Every structure is written in structure tokens, then in C-alpha cells.
Amino acid sequence: MQPLIIFFDGYCVFCNFWVRVLCRWDRNDQLRFSTLESEIARKFLQNRPELLAYDSIIVWDQENFAVEASAVFMILKRLRGGVRSLLIFSLLPRTLTNFIYRSVAHGRYWLFGKKETCPIPEEKIRHKFLQ
């Protein structure tokens, strides 16, 4: 199975926190990460300009992609253990879960801050980050 690629806001403190959490939860090494500011993301988005309208992570399994709440659920499906129980929220209407996602995404800089530069991942998880 191909790794899941997660494009995220590299300057966002909140996003970087969750990327580190996902690295710990990814016991089967199924996740790869790249910032939305990276060359890989630019090439990916070049063929999918409709995704530029979203203030969201983008998750790509090399065939399909997802944004907002669908992206979160796509990630949870790849993880093992108790965290998968959060998939119960995927039973809620997508309009509600996307509203919650957008509310957090909209206020993330105000609530958590923004970094001046994208942080460099620690050595033990560096293999998960695409250049």
C-alpha cells in the first residue's frame, strides 16, 4: 500500500503540533508529510487548481485526494489502535464536520500562532517528510 501524503501549512503552529502527533501515532509508517509551500505541493496543486480554494490540509493516497474533514478521516483510517475510534465522527453529516474543521482552520493563527519559517523535523522522523 502506498503511503498517504499529507500536505499541511508548514508555518502553522497548530498544524505542526498535529503532524508531530501523527508521526508518533503512525506505528506502521503509513504517513508522509510535505508542507503546502513545498515544491512537491506546488507540482501536485498545479494539476488541481480547485484545491487552492481550500484553507485545509490535503491528503493524497496517490490516486484520490481529500480535504477538510474528509482528509482527517482518511488519515484516521490509516492509523492503528484506539485513535481509530474517532472515526465515529465520520457518521455525522459532512456539512457539520466540515463546519467544525473550517472553524478551527480559520482561527488557527489567532489561537496558536504562526512560525516565521517551517521547522525542521527531528532526525528520527525526518524520513517521513518529503522535500
38 contacts 46 by C-beta, under 8 angstroms: no
pLDDT at 131: 73
The yes-or-no verdict on residue 63 having pLDDT over 80 is: yes
Q: Taking the model in full, what pTM does it have? A: 0.90
Give the Cα separation of 14 and 51 in Å (integer): 21
Counting residues of the chain whose pLDDT is more than 70, the rounded percentage is 100
Domain of residue 109, residue span: 4-128
The yes-or-no verdict on residue 54 having pLDDT over 90 is: no
Total domain count for the chain? 1
DSSP 42: H
Beta-carbon count within 10 A of 102 CB: 15
